[in-house]
Homo-oligomer: A and B are copies of this chain.
Amino acid sequence: MTVNTASTSTSETIDICAPLQRVRAAAPLVHNITNYVVMNNTANALLAVGASPAMVHAVDEVEEFAAISRALVVNIGTLSPPWVEAMRLAVARARTGGIPWVLDPVGVGATGYRRSVGAELAGLRPTVIRGNASEILVLAGAVGSAGRGVDSADETATALEPAQRLARATGAVIAMTGAIDYVTDGHRVVTVSNGHEMMARVTGLGCTATALVGAFLGANDDPFAATVAALATLGVAGELATEQSAGPGTLQVNLLDALYRLDEQTLLRCARVHALA
């Protein structure tokens, strides 16, 4: 498939406001099995956008909790065997209940353990997989990725075709984020060109993107549209927050304010969302 980097349609054809409105109206309960580093910040991002977060990971209760949630977020950032077991149980329960779930394969290329767990989880029919280009390349089985830790050493554009293959192989919508975000279901491709480079100096904003995708999945029926809207919402909020911030410390905090205050007109005016071929 040829990837056309020129825009073939405008954001006017993709509704990015209604999905956010539905999150705020429904306040979906989002079950997170995520990493220690970002728990506070992603819980706050979910609250700021209007969702209701919960962090629950004990194998004794994840199935029961997944069943009452509207979406499940699985993030392998600080994985360990008991948490992976909880992920398996929660995912199985979510699938049985038709509850959407999103996978964040943090640093999946860094170790054999991560590659193994990441591949296993990617095979359990996630609704969405959100990662940077290096992570998506590793999951797609592409060679040549120099992923180290959680940063992305690959350009997102060159990883688009593997991302599309991964989408078709897993059935998941792939959200590959970077300077430009790509969302693909293996056929359609939409780009989101919001955000600011200073966001890369705040830990876990990729994890925040994943959590917000979870919230949007929990309040919207169309995973593709929900994912595009979630990334646009975060990117626009990030731009607004950066304008107010002297550095990454205040940015982390101002981003939560911006998510809380973001209005429809601003989102519509600032979002740069385009459909590719």
Contact = CB atoms under 8 A, between A and B. Distances in A.
Nearest to A68: B148
A253 B248 CA distance: 8
Contacts of A202: 44, 47
Contacts of A235: none
Contact of A248 (B47, B64, B150, B252): B47
A104 to B, nearest CB: 15
Interface string A41-64: 101100110001111111011001
- Taken together, the copies of this chain in the complex come to 3
Interface in A64-103: 64-65, 68, 77-82
Contacts of A44: 202-203, 248-249, 252
Contact of A201 (B48, B246, B252, B258): B48
Contact of A47 (B41, B203, B253, B255): B203
Contact of A148 (B29, B58, B151, B256): B29
A111 interface: yes
Contact of A252 (B77, B111, B249): B249
A261 interface: yes
Range for the number of chain A residues in contact with chain B: 35 or more
Interface in A228-273: 245-250, 252-261
Contact of A36 (B39, B52, B111, B248): B39
Given A29-B148, A65-B110, A55 B43 contact: no
A274 interface: no
A13 to B, nearest CB: 31
A10 to B, nearest CB: 30
Nearest to A116: B60
Contact of A247 (B60, B151, B257): B257
A169 interface: no
Interface in A7-31: 29
A76 B65 CA distance: 15
B151 A52 contact: yes
Contact of A257 (B110, B151, B204, B250): B250
27 contacts: A36-B36, A40-B41, A40-B203, A40-B204, A43-B204, A44-B249, A44-B252, A47-B248, A48-B201, A48-B248, A48-B249, A52-B151, A54-B110, A57-B78, A58-B80, A61-B113, A68-B110, A80-B82, A201-B260, A245-B257, A246-B261, A247-B259, A247-B261, A248-B260, A249-B254, A250-B253, A250-B256
Interface of A: 29, 35-41, 43-44, 47-48, 52-58, 60-61, 64-65, 68, 77-82, 107, 110-114, 148-151, 200-204, 245-250, 252-261
